[in-house]
Chains A and B, each alone.
Chain A
Amino acid sequence: MTIRARLIVSTFLLQVISMAMLGWGVLAARHQYQERDLRKSAGLIAMAVERAASDSLIQKDDVALLSYMKFLQVQYPAIAQARIDWKNKGRERSATVGAVPFGADTRTSRFTVADPSDSARTVEVDLTIDYTVLDRPFQDANRRLAKIFLLVWGVTSLLGLAISYLMARGLTRPIVELSRLAGEIGGGKLGGKLAWESDDELGGLVRAFNGMSGRLEEFDSIKRNFVSSVTHELRSPLGAIESFLQLIRDKVAAGAPEGFAQSKEFLERIQVNVRRLSGFINDLLDVAKIEKGKMECVLRPMDLPGVANEVCQFFEAKALQQGIAISNRLTPLPAVLGDADRVRQVLVNLVANGLKFTSQGGQIWITGEQFRDGGSRWIEITVGDTGRGMDETDRASLFQPFTQGRNITDGVSGHKGTGLGLYIVKSIVDQHGGKIEVKSAPGQGTRISFSLKVAA
C-alpha cells in the first residue's frame, strides 16, 4: 500500500470515527436529559391523580374520582391504566380505568391517600404509565436530529476524503519526485534538482537533497578533472622518456660523433622527467597518507633560514632561466619546532608555485616575522611573488585537494600540475600546529604565509 493510500485511508477513517463518536455523545447526553424529563412528566401525572384521589375522599364522592380519572386519561394519553381500591372500615371496592396495552414499556407505581378527617377511609391507586407514549415526542425529535447528523456526517466525510486526498497528494508528490531523482543520480545522471519551495520539513528535505545533488556533481567534475590531470602528468613525461630513449638508441646505432653530445642532453632531459614522475608519485603517496590520517611530522628544533637558503639555491638556476629574481630575506631567527624535510617540502612547493605563475622580470622572496599568540612565540614565514595573483573564487578553493584554479594554464610556465601541492602544504602546516593563509588579488601577486612555533 502506498504512503498516499495509507494517508488517505487513515485520515478518512479518523474523520468518520470522530464524527460517529461526536454523534453518539450528543445523543447520549440528550438521552440523559430526556430520562429526567420523562420522570418529571410521570411525576406530574402521578401528582394530579393523587390530588384527585385526595379531593374525592374529602368530598366523599367516589364517582367524581372515576370520571376525573377518565378526564385525565384523555388529557394524558400516557396513562395506560389506573386501578383504584377504596377501603372504608373493612369494606372494599375497586374499579379499573383503561387497560395495559400489550408490549408497551409500562411502569406501575402505587400510592395510598387517606381522608385527613377519617384515617380509616383510604384510596389506593395503582397507576400504570405507558412510557412509550410519554417518550414519543422525544423519539421524534431524536429521529430528526439523527437525520441531520447523518446528513452532516455524509457531507463532511466526502469533504474529508477530498481534503485528505489533496493533502496526501501534496505530501507525496515531492517524495515521488525525489525518489525518481535519487534513482537518476544512482544511475549516474548527476546534478538533478527539484524545483519545490516550502517552509516545512519537506521543503527542508528538498533543499538538502538539491544541495547534496549539487555537491555530487561538483565532486564528479573534480574527479574527472583529477583523472585527466593524472593521466597527463603520467603520460606526458613517460611518453617523452620513451621518445628520448628511442632517439638515443638511433644515435648510438648510427655511431656519428655529434650524436653522443645530443644523447647526453637527451639523457639529462630523461632525468628531469623521471624526477617529475617521482615527485608526482610522492605527492600521491603523501595525499594517501593525509587521507588515512597518517601524515606524521617529527617536530625538532630546526634552522629555518638554513632550509630556506637550500630551497632558494635549488631553484636559482630555474629562476635565472625564467628571468625571475629569487631572494631569501630571512634574518637570523630563533630555532623553530619543525620537521625539516616537511618544512623544506612546504617551501619548495610555495616557491615552485611562485615560479609557475610569475612572468619574466618578476620577483620571489621569503620573509619571516616573529609574533606572540597567547603564551607562545611563533614565526610567520611568507613566500611572496609578483606574479599574476588570483581572484576570490580561486582563493577559496586553493587548499582543496584535486582542485586547480580556473585558467590554470594561461600564461603559465611549466606543467599544469595536479592540484595536490597546496593541499599537502596545508596538511603539513596543520601537523605543525600552525596556520596558513593567502593574500592575493588578480595582477597583484600572491603572498602565502604559514606559522611555526618557536622552540622553547
Chain B
Amino acid sequence: MAIQVLVIDDEEDYRIIIEDVLRGAGMDVRLAKDGEEGLRMLKEKPAEVVLVDWMMPRMDGEQFCRAMRAEPALKDLPVLMLTVRQTADEELEALHFGVDDFVVKPFKSLELLARVRAALRRTDKKAA
C-alpha cells in the first residue's frame, strides 16, 4: 500500500513541486493550503508523514505542530518542516514544539525523498 503523505503549504508552486516528487516515488499525496485545512484533513483520514511549511496565513507551521501534538491520535506522527532558512535558535525552538526534521527550500528531489523516507524509517523502528 502506498505511503500516505500530507503536504501543507500556502504557496501553490511548492504544493505542485512536492506533489510531483512524491507521486513520482509512488506515494499517496494530499494537499492543504494552511494549518487549519491540514489539521481537518488529518482528522478525517490519517497520514504516515506530514510536510508543513513554517510561514503560512491563518494557522502557521508552529501553530499546526502544537495543535497536532495536542491530539492523542496524532502526537507521534512524524512532521517535516519546510523552511526558507532558519537560524540555529529557530531550529531548536521548532524541535521543541514537535518538528522531527527540516527541509530547506529550495531542495533537490532526492533530498526531499530521502528525508521523508528517513522520517518513516524512524517511526517504523519505534513501532517495532
Give me the interface of A with B, judged by CB distance under 8 Å: 231-232, 235-240, 242-244, 246-247, 250, 262, 266, 269, 273, 409-412, 416
Which residues in window 71-116 of B have CB below 8 A to A? 84-85, 105-109
Q: Is the CB of A410 within 8 A of B58?
A: yes
Whether the pair A239, B106 counts as a contact (CB closer than 8 A) is yes
Q: A238-B106, A409-B57 are in contact. Are A244 and B84 (CB under 8 A)?
A: no
Whether A232 contacts B57 by the Cβ 8 Å rule is: no
Cα distance A240–B105 in the bound complex, in angstroms:
8
CB-CB under 8 A for A247 and B84, given A240-B11, A409-B57, A410-B58: no
CB of B106 within 8 A of CB of A243, answer yes
Whether the pair B57, A410 counts as a contact (CB closer than 8 A) is: yes
Query: Min CB distance, B18 to chain A, in Å?
Result: 9
Q: How far is the CA of A243 from the CA of B17 in the complex (A)?
A: 7
Number of interface residues of B (CB under 8 A): 20
Which among A231, A242, A246, A411 is the interface contact of B85 at CB below 8 angstroms? Answer: A231
Known: A240-B13, A269-B16. A232 touches B84 (CB 8 A): yes
Q: What is the distance, in angstroms, from B55's C-beta to the closest C-beta of chain A?
A: 7
CB pair B109–A240 under 8 Å, yes or no, is: no
- Determine if B21 is an interface residue (Cβ-Cβ < 8 Å): yes
Known A-B contacts A247-B109, A250-B109; the reply to A240 vs B17 at CB < 8 A is yes
Partner pick for B57 among A237, A247, A411, CB 8 A cutoff: A411
Interface string of B56-73 (1 = CB under 8 A from A): 111000000000000000
In the assembly, what is the distance between CA of A266 and CA of B13, in Å?
9
Q: Contact string, B39-67, partner A, CB cutoff 8 A, digits 1/0? A: 00000000000000001111000000000
Q: Could you say which of A235, A244, A409 contacts B17, with CB atoms under 8 Å apart?
A: A244
| Closest B residue to A235 using CB positions | B84
- Alpha-carbon distance between A18 and B99 when the two chains are bound, in angstroms: 79
Q: Which residues of B contact A244 (CB under 8 A)?
A: 13, 17
B37 interface hit (Cβ, 8 Å): no
List 9 A-B pairs, minimum CB-CB distance, nearest first: A239-B106, A240-B13, A409-B57, A242-B106, A239-B105, A243-B17, A235-B84, A243-B106, A410-B57
A409–B13 CA distance with the chains assembled, in angstroms: 17
A407: nearest chain-B partner, CB-CB: B57
Given A236-B84, A240-B11, A412-B57, A247 contacting B20 (CB threshold 8 A): yes
6 contacts between A and B (CB under 8 A): A231-B84, A235-B106, A236-B11, A243-B17, A243-B107, A246-B109
The answer to whether residues A232 and B55 also contact, given A240-B11, A246-B109, A247-B109 and a CB cut-off of 8 A, is yes
A250 to B13, CA, bound (A): 17
Instruction: Give the residues in chain A near B21, CB-CB below 8 Å.
Output: 247
Are B13 and A269 closer than 8 Å at their CB atoms? Answer: yes
Residues of A within 8 A of B85 (CB): 231, 235
Alpha-carbon gap, A246 to B112, bound state (A): 13
Fill in one digit per residue for B3-28: 1 if any A CB lies within 8 Å of its CB, else 0. 00000001101101100110010000
Q: Nearest CB to that of A409 among chain B residues?
A: B57
Residues of B close to A412: CB separation below 8 A: 57
A273 to B57, CA, bound (A): 20
Query: Do B105 and A236 touch across chains, with their CB atoms under 8 A apart?
Result: yes
Interchain CB contact (< 8 A) of A246 among B11, B58, B108: B108
What are the residues of chain A within 8 A of B107 when measuring CB–CB? 243
Contact B108 A235 (CB under 8 A): no
State the Cβ distance, A132 to closest chain B Cβ, in Å: 94
A348 to chain B, nearest CB (A): 21
Q: How far is the CB of A250 from chain B (nearest CB, A)?
A: 7
Nearest-Cβ distance from residue B36 to partner chain A, whole angstroms: 11
